[in-house]
Amino acid sequence: MGPHPAVAEVRRAVRTSLADLPPGALVLVACSGGPDSLALAAALGFVAPRAGLRAGLVTVDHGLQEGSAERAERIAALAPDLGLSPARVLRVNVGSEGGPEAAARRARYAALDRAAAEEDAAAVLLGHTRDDQAETVLLRLARGSGTRSLSAMAEVSGVYRRPLLAIPRRITETACAALGLTPWDDPHNHDVRFTRVRVRRRLLPLLERELGPGIAEALARTARQCREDADALDEWAERAYLAALSPVLKRVEAEVGEPVAGRAHAVPGAEGARPAEPAGDGATGFADGETASAPGPVGLAVPRLEELPAAVRRRVLRRAAVTAGSPAGALSAKHLTEAERLITEWHGQRRVDLPGGVTVERRYGTLIVARAHP
């Protein structure tokens, strides 16, 4: 007799997610003890040895609730029974910048980044489900986000993988019950002070009642379509960036007195640093987690930019701003719209200031994006 259908579905999702990894690679699962990550951990423990992979568990103690340290130790202690080794507890200090949810997320991902590097893990599995994806889309719709942000969470983002994005939460809960696992019910998941909890407990059920069932599935489908569109636009914008850069490299180098950032500073296409959360408001721009390896001034030929659709042109501007040293997380649609006016509504206006001390100026048919000199 085979496994329960819910268990089989989660295992199949994990097997598919890991199919490209080489034999002997280490895969870590981030487990909070909730039904999603617990079902994921159990599936990894079953799938990994059969796929010739090693599998371990990490759990993050945010220190935000009484007894969190003991709870984290109990979660780590489950690892041997699930076939997972090593098992590590990652203790973090959560700040306050950006609110409690954002601060906890930053601390959690920083700890997971370090653990993946220290263990030389090929992948870290995260337990986000289709319901989480739907909640993320609604949260970003409320912010007035663009295509990249509405694409929400990627199945693969650098070292991070989310095998359960197509699976509803009820399947993970059923899988845990079928395996005799008792998930931890985090009190924070019921605290309506948190925006995501209000979306989960109030908004999504209201939409289901008023618009009919299948809202979460439809929102997750929207995210997939937005990601495909955003990827295509980003690819177009990268080609346009290089085409606009080529004619003016030497001229701008002479102007600013230093090498210009160009082809050697490509922005990664994956959401390496923070896979679940696009930089800034996500209204425009390249893939999440973008960075410039060595910031420097950028020069772009205005005629090349004038012929581009607005969605592509603003992506090119964002690419140039990040390459010049502007923090991706601080760049907003408003910043890029102001910079775009130097191309589309040019009448001799002064430079545009961007975050990070970067400025955008138009000189003799060239858009120069560079840090301002004192």
Residue 51's identity, in one-letter code, is A
- Domains defined along the chain, listed by start: 5-127+163-213 (3.40.50.620), 228-371 (3.30.465.60)
pLDDT for residue 372: 80
Compute, in degrees rounded to 10, the torsion defined by CA atoms 327, 333, 336, 340.
170
CB 94 within 8 A of CB 64: yes
pLDDT for residue 232: 94
Residue 111 to residue 58: CA distance in whole angstroms = 10
145 is in an annotated binding site: no
22 is in an annotated binding site: no
Query: Across the chain, how many H-helices and E-strands are there?
Result: 15, 10
Residue 103, pLDDT > 50, answer yes
At 250-287, the pLDDT tens digits run 555 555 555 555 433 333 332 333 333 333 333 334 44
More confident residue, 102 or 354: 354
At 213-253, the pLDDT tens digits run 899 999 999 999 999 999 999 999 999 999 998 655 555 55
pLDDT for residue 256: 55
- The 3-class SS string of 201-257 reads HHHHHHHHHHHCCCHHHHHHHHHHHHHHHHHHHHHHHHHHHHHHHHHHHHHHHHHHC
pLDDT for residue 374: 55
Residue 318 to residue 335: CA distance in whole angstroms = 9
357 is in an annotated binding site: no
What six digits make up the tokens of 276?
């679940």
Residue 219 to residue 225: CA distance in whole angstroms = 10
pLDDT for residue 366: 92
CB 155 within 8 A of CB 47: no
36 is in an annotated binding site: yes
Query: Which residues are CB-neighbours of 72 under 8 A, at least 6 positions away?
Result: 59, 60, 61, 89, 91
Query: Which residues are CB-neighbours of 364 under 8 A, at least 6 positions away?
Result: none
Bond before 86 cis per omega within 30 degrees: yes
DSSP tag of 259:
P
Query: Which residues are CB-neighbours of 79 under 8 A, at least 6 positions away?
Result: 41, 56, 57, 85, 86, 87
